[in-house]
Structure 1
Amino acid sequence: MDAKERFYRKFQSEVADIQDHIGRLGAVAIVGGERKDASDSILASLSQLSLEVADAAEFIPAYDQRTYSNTVKSLTDRLNDELARLAPPKPRFQFKKSAKAAASAASAPAKADHRLLRGVPDAKAPADASVVSSLPDSDTKNTKNYNAGIAASSDAIRRPSFSSAKEINIAGHTGLHIILPLSASRATASGSLTDLAGCAVDMSVPTSSEARGGGGAAFQSLMLRNIERSLVVVGHVSGPVHMTKLKNCVLVVASRQVRIHECYDVDIYLDVRSRPIIEDCKNMRFAPLPSTYSDRTDGSANQWDQVDDFKWLRAEPSPNWSVLPEAERLPESVWTDAVRGTGRSTEDVLKAVGI
């Protein structure tokens, strides 16, 4: 594959990735600045993509470069339109009557002013009237802090139910063994695992065929970021999985698409319907999904070993990834006993998978 073809495939993949993120902005919470962080991340991706188009000028024709640039502009416009659509409505203003005006109004017949009803200031309002805003009611509904519950629990294995959550978010833990129960299948609209160290996390049960048969569903998308020295059994994802800044980890993933950035010394047991993509990674090793976690029925090919390194445009194979030798792959007994077993400490589980 020449450099021009590689760039085309990389560009198409990144465009699809950005479109997916823009389409999911409405599902990201405003509270805590999460939506702003998500939109900032999309803007950063668009900026990076624009720079990559400029850098590719040395090997792509000028016409193609203009086409790529126009696509980036269209994505930027779409993002701006989506942010405008999701922006909260502007508050309407009305005059608050002074004490003198209120007393006068109390002794006079009530008279509606259509301009005030529309939120237009009344030109005849008293000079000392003060302006107050009529703001929409805030959402006071409390949501359970599952991460606080995970941290506070003294159980050897944490089993957060996520039964009252809309999405699964596990963040900021060290040295914990976390297994999601079947009840978490109600919260698989999307998921994220961030800032974990020395953890073993198994999310396979809520997205299994058993859960899907009972009304549950595979994750629509999943994001993993800043994870070190950990085992993550992702489960099933109907959309993309994004992995960023993982080090010394073992992953088990079944998904439609996998994008991997800035990851080092990671073994991935994978079932994926499109070619995996890596960028800025080193010592990545790939193996097929263990049969313990496989329930594929569509007959499509597993492209676990068809990896594209978007930062390696040379003709020779990329040195940044390899196939995990069969002799070094973990046997099924490790997955069924050590990982799914309940009588082992977190360190025992990590040791069993070679971490």
Structure 2
Amino acid sequence: MSAADDDIKEQKHPDTKEAAAKFWHSFQQEREAIRQSISDLCTQSRSSVSSLCDKILEQINDLEKKLIEATIYLPPYDQRQLTLQVKSLNEELSNQRSILMPKSKFSFKSRKTAAISTKSTSTTGTVPSQAQPPETSSVKESALSTMSPNFKIITLHDEQGKYFDIKSLVASDADNKIVDFQLSNLTDCIVNLVSTDTVIGAIHIKNLKNTLIMSSPVGSSILSHGCERCVFLVGCHQFRIHDSIKMKIYLHVTSHPIIEDCREIQFAPYTLAIDGLEQMFEKAKLDQSINHYDKAEDFKWLKQQVSPNWSLLQEQEWKKDWPLNIKDSSQESIKRILDDIVKLKG
């Protein structure tokens, strides 16, 4: 996209730049408040550290949710910088908790290669004077070498009726890098992120319809928002899904999955069975023996009874044969596969 195109876009949406600036400012205020809370942990009693960490983690997750909701008007540069700042908060909290409670388990594992020092992130407290123009391709790779040479963000958006394989999305030199994925506005698609080589740090998902996502175990979190009639096969330390309906989640998660403003969510265990799966769990620092897929917490259901917004998929209905090697990627073939999996009765 040319500079002229950017000017035309700004003229059509004059409030976009102002909204992005306001969001950046409010984001930095919340981020600094969270960092101060993390710093203050060392002054608290040992018995209160665990509950305080859980509260801070919830604040970080809420901030991350706001960021995803704001991606519709944030420039790509801002999105990348703020994503890295969220990662830094998770890293700081994880490190502080490991120092104060060295024997406790924490849902986010340390990701040293993706960590950003306090010094490097503190320089991003003002709105960039010139945002990078958005890329024209729907698949974008951001090698943030100035921030962390071993970290990449790959964005896939605005696609319909297509098949995507991790080998086609990730460069061949990414074997030793942590790769995050941002998937948005996909309809009738199959996304295969299963790999014995690439380490996936996190996955952000937004506005998917009738789409299948299959993934290797993820080293941090999976956050999903605004999806309908999709099937996810995923493993992670923390899983959150918002504003979604008619979903089937085949999940391995070491903390309780969280749903909010959702209906007809069905959970089942992670049924991926391939050679090298144990090594994939090890790379993600994910305990293969702990899975809380069946202990979802509905943040909008405050009654003592079990939430009616989610249920467990019956074992006889579990999908175990996943389409990891699709040779015919025509729309007709994709539709047949989705009809068998996403629209499976039950």
**TM-score (norm: length of structure 2):** 0.56
Give the aligned partner of residue 115 of structure 1.
none
Q: 1:265 to 1:37 in 2, by over 3 A?
A: farther
Q: Distance in 1 between matches of 2:61 and 2:244?
A: 18
Change beyond 3 A, Cα 1:241–1:342? same
The 1-side partners of 2:128 and 2:194 are apart by 43
Bigger RCO (CA 8 Å, 6+ sep): 2
SS across alignment from 2:300: coil
Correspondence for 2:256 = 275
Work out which of the two has the higher radius of gyration on C-alpha atoms and give 1 or 2.
Answer: 1
**AA paired with 1:204?**
V
Pairs within 5 Å for 1:141-180 = 147=138, 166-180=152-166
Per the alignment, in what secondary structure is the counterpart of residue 225 of structure 1?
A: strand
Q: Quote the residue 1:253 is aligned against.
A: 234
Whole-angstrom CA distance in 2 between matches of 1:277 and 1:245:
14
Tell me whether 1:348 sits opposite 2:329 in the alignment.
no
How far does the alpha carbon of each residue in 1:280-334 deviate from its partner, in whole angstroms, 9 at most, with x for none? 000000000114264345454111111111111111100000000112111x3x3
- Counterparts of 1:34 and 1:89, CA distance in 2: 8
Instruction: Give the 5 Å matches for 1:57-136.
Output: 85-87=123-125
Q: CA deviation at 1:172?
A: 0.7
Are the equivalent residues in 2 in contact too, given 1:10–1:310 (CA < 8 A)?
no
1:326 aligns with 315
Gaps of 5+ in 2: 1-50, 67-73, 87-118, 141-149
Looking at structure 2, the residues matched to 302 and 148 of structure 1 have their Cα atoms a distance apart, in angstroms, of 32
CA change 1:309–1:83 in 2 (3 A) is same
Kindly indicate whether the alpha-carbon contact (under 8 Å) linking 2:245 and 2:263 is maintained by their aligned counterparts in 1.
yes
Give % identity: 24
Q: Which residues of 2 match residues 303-314 of structure 1 at below 5 A?
A: 303-314=292-303
Question: Secondary structure, in 3 states, of the residue corresponding to 2:201?
Answer: coil
Give the superposition deviation at 1:18: 5.0
**Corresponding residue of 1:14:** 58
Residue 270 of structure 2 is aligned to residue 289 of structure 1: yes
Cα 1:143–1:90, aligned 2, differ >3 Å: closer, same or farther?
closer
Structure 1 residue 14, shift from structure 2 partner: 1.6
CA positional deviation for 1:147: 2.5
Provide, for residues 164-191 of structure 1, a one-character-per-residue CA deviation record: whole Å limited to 9, x for no partner.
Answer: 9932111110110111217364664321
Q: Which AA in structure 1 matches 2:159?
A: H
- Structure 1 stretches lacking a partner, 5+ long: 1-6, 23-29, 43-80, 92-137, 150-163
Q: How far 1:237 moved relative to its partner?
A: 1.1
Tell me if the contact between 2:234 and 2:250 (Cα under 8 Å) persists in the aligned partners: yes
Structure 1 residue 235: Cα displacement: 2.3
Matched, 1:204 2:194: yes
The 8 Å contact of residues 238 and 257 in structure 2, kept in 1 or not, is answered as yes
Q: Structure 2 counterpart of 1:202, which letter?
A: N
Q: Contact between 1:260 and 1:279, CA under 8 Å: does it hold in 2? A: yes
Matched residue type, 1:329: W
C-alpha distance in structure 1 between counterparts of 2:82 and 2:131, whole Å: 21
Q: Report the Cα distance in structure 1 between the residues aligned to 2:306 and 2:121, rounded to whole angstroms.
A: 41
Mapped contact 1:283–1:320 kept (Cα < 8 A) = yes
Asked whether the 8 Å contact 2:229–2:342 carries over to 1, the reply is no
Distance 1:317 1:36, change over 3 A: same
Report deviation, 1:197.
0.5
Structure-2 separation of matches of 1:179 and 1:301? 28
Kept after mapping to 2: 8 A contact 1:244/1:261: yes
* Stretch deviating more after TM superposition (236-245 or 188-197): 188-197
Distance 1:89 1:284 in 2: 39
Give a deviation string over 1:45-75, Cα, whole Å, max 9, x none: xxxxxxxxxxxxxxxxxxxxxxxxxxxxxxx
Superposed displacement of residue 221, structure 1: 1.7
Residues 9 and 311 of structure 1, relative CA distance in 2, 3 Å threshold = farther
CA 1:267/1:148 → structure 2, altered by over 3 Å: closer, same or farther?
A: closer
SS of alignment partner, residue 347 of structure 1: helix
CA distance in 1, matches of 2:128, 2:78: 20
**Equivalent residue, structure 1, for 2:215:** 234
Q: Is the 8 A contact 1:168 1:187 kept in 2?
A: no
Task: Quickly say closer, same or farther: Cα 1:87–1:313, change in 2 above 3 A.
Answer: closer
Cα distance, 1:8–1:278 mapped onto 2, change above 3 Å: farther
* Rounded Cα–Cα distance in structure 2 between residues aligned with 1:33 and 1:139: 6
Q: In 1, are the aligned partners of 2:76 and 2:134 still within 8 Å (CA)?
A: no
Structure 1 distance, partners of 2:194, 2:78, is 26
